[in-house]
Structures are given as C-alpha cells and as structure tokens.
C-alpha cells in the first residue's frame, strides 16, 4: 500500500529509515558497544519518528484474510520458564489508569460486554516468520473512551504478569496514535474460541500493525502517561516503535 508521500512501506525499508541498523543489531542481541551505542540509539529514535509520523495512519488497515487461510499452528513465546497462568482466574481484572479522568478496574465479563472487533490477520515476528490467525476483543479506543485520557497523555504502558527467570516483569509502551488505531484491540478470543494461556489468557494486546514482541500477553494494567515508557525487549535494544 502506497504512502501519500509517494513512497511505499517497502521503499522505506529499502532506504533503511525503518528497518535500520539499530533494528538489525538489536534483533541479533548486540547493541554496538560503547562506541556505536549512542549512534544506534539516535538511528532508532529516527526510525520511531518515521514510523509514528510518516507511515502510521488510522485509515491504513492491515490486510484481512478469510478464516480458511488460518495457519495450522502459531508459535507462542513468554519470558518465563513455563507458561504463565493465573492461580485464581476469577479474581483477575484489568487496571486502567494513569493520566485519565475516570480510572477503571474491568473484569473479563465487563470487557466482553463492550464493543467487539474481530479479524483474521497475518502476525509478524521480529525473527522473520509469519502466521495467520483470527483474533477477537475490545478496541483499545473503546477503553480510552471509558476512562477519558487527559490532554497530557501521549503514550500507553502495558504491564503483564509474565516474568522472566530473574523475576523481571514483561511490559512495553506504545505511542497513543498506534494504541488508538482501529485494529488495536485487547484480545480475549483466538481462532474462534476463548484465548488460552499459551497465547496470553485471559487478555492480551493485539494489533496487526506491530511486530509480535510489542503485543503484550497476560495483561494486568494499561496506563496512559506523558512520558515514553521503556519495555522488556526495548530496554535491551529492540526498536521501540516496532511497527510494520
């Protein structure tokens, strides 16, 4: 799909403005060392700006597919040694707060009663593989309408109960424009059934406009903030924007 500037997304990738050196070395687990780290960080910031301000548009939607196109399997990842599971799923609720006028604590039943979006889309992993699956959930924009973010809110932080072996919890941050994209949802359904623990139950962030590591599973909190949040992988050098 062409960008209004006349350059397609593929053109931007070829120019290195989006998938630049910072993205490549981060995916390989190397940050360039002390000499290159500041330069790579600057390139990454430029990538983020181009992604948010040039490529991203609420009118540009990821391609959808018929359910018959679903892949047979979808790999799943978490940062702990075993699949995270709630000891008491009935007590789970999503905390939504930060720079909002009406903080909320929403149960799964309350989320399921809100406007629902479903689609079958292609999932892209930073490692290079793709798969097609169906997702269902509540648009994050509908949650925002409930809690009413203030004018100071520019970013959204997503927290998870997934933890690595050292006890560090998974989290990441998005710009507000990406979070309000019409295909960004809090998903509770996967391939026509309730989402299971291996894919992020009871609730996960999903959007086909982002790479997989940006799609937080096992959600516990959504926080609107004025400051750009870090993230589990982003703090290790992965591109912050992570868009497609």
Tell me the HSE value of 152 on the side-chain side, using a 13 A CA sphere: 8
Supply the pLDDT for residue 202: 98
Supply the pLDDT for residue 56: 52
Tell me the HSE value of 232 on the side-chain side, using a 13 A CA sphere: 22
pTM over 0.75: yes
Spatial distance between the Cα atoms of 222 and 22, rounded to a whole number of angstroms: 28
Per-residue pLDDT for the chain (244 aa), expressed as one digit of tens each? 333 334 344 433 433 334 444 444 444 444 444 443 444 444 444 445 444 444 455 668 999 999 999 999 999 889 999 999 999 999 999 999 999 999 999 999 999 999 999 999 999 998 899 999 999 999 999 999 999 999 999 999 999 999 999 999 999 999 999 999 999 999 999 999 999 999 999 999 999 999 999 999 999 999 999 999 999 999 998 999 998 8
> Taking CA 124 as the corner, what is the angle to CA 224 and CA 128, rounded to the nearest 5 degrees?
130
Supply the pLDDT for residue 57: 57
Per the DSSP assignment, residues forming a β-bridge with 183 are none
Q: Are residues 181 and 207 in contact, defined by beta-carbon separation less than 8 angstroms? A: yes
Q: Which domains does the chain have, with CATH numbers?
A: 9-55 (no CATH), 67-236 (3.90.420.10)
> Which of 164, 166, 147, 167 lies closest to 156, judged by CA?
147
SS (H, E, C) the chain: CECCCCCEHHHHHHHCCCCCHHHHHHHCCCCCHHHHHHHHHHHHHHHHHHHHHHHCCCCCCCCECCHHHCCCCCCCCCCCCCCCCCCCHHHCCEEEEECECCCEEECHHHHHCCCCEEEEEEEECCCCCEEEEEEEEEEHHHHHHHHCECCCCCEEEEEEEEECCCCCEEEEEEEHHHHCCCCCEEEEEECCEECCHHHCCCCEEECCCECHHHCCCCEEEEEEECCCCCCCCHHHCCCCCCEC
Q: What are phi and psi of 125, to 5 degrees?
A: -100, 145
Q: What are phi and psi of 172, to 5 degrees?
A: -160, 175
């Amino acid at each position: 799909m062409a960008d209004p500037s006349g350059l397609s997304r593929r053109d931007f990738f070829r120019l290195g403005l989006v998938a630049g050196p910072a993205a490549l070395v981060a995916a390989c687990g190397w940050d360039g060392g002390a000499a290159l780290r500041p330069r790579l960080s600057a390139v990454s910031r430029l990538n983020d700006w181009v992604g948010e301000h040039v490529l991203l548009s609420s009118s540009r939607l990821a391609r959808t597919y018929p359910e018959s196109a679903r892949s047979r399997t979808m790999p799943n990842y978490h940062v702990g040694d075993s699949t995270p599971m709630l000891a008491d799923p009935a007590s789970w609720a999503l905390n939504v707060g930060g720079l909002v006028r009406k903080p909320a604590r929403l149960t799964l039943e309350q989320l399921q009663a809100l406007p629902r979006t479903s689609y079958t889309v292609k999932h892209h992993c930073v490692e290079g593989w793709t798969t097609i699956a169906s997702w269902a959930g509540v648009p994050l924009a509908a949650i925002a309408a409930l809690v009413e973010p203030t004018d100071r809110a520019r970013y959204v932080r997503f927290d998870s109960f997934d933890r690595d072996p050292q006890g560090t919890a998974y989290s990441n941050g998005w710009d507000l424009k990406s979070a309000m994209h019409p295909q960004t949802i809090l998903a509770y359904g996967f391939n026509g059934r309730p989402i299971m623990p291996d894919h992020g139950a009871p609730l996960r962030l999903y959007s086909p406009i982002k790479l997989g590591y940006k799609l937080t599973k096992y959600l516990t909190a959504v926080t609107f903030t004025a400051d750009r949040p870090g993230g589990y992988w982003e703090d290790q050098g992965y591109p912050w924007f992570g868009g497609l």
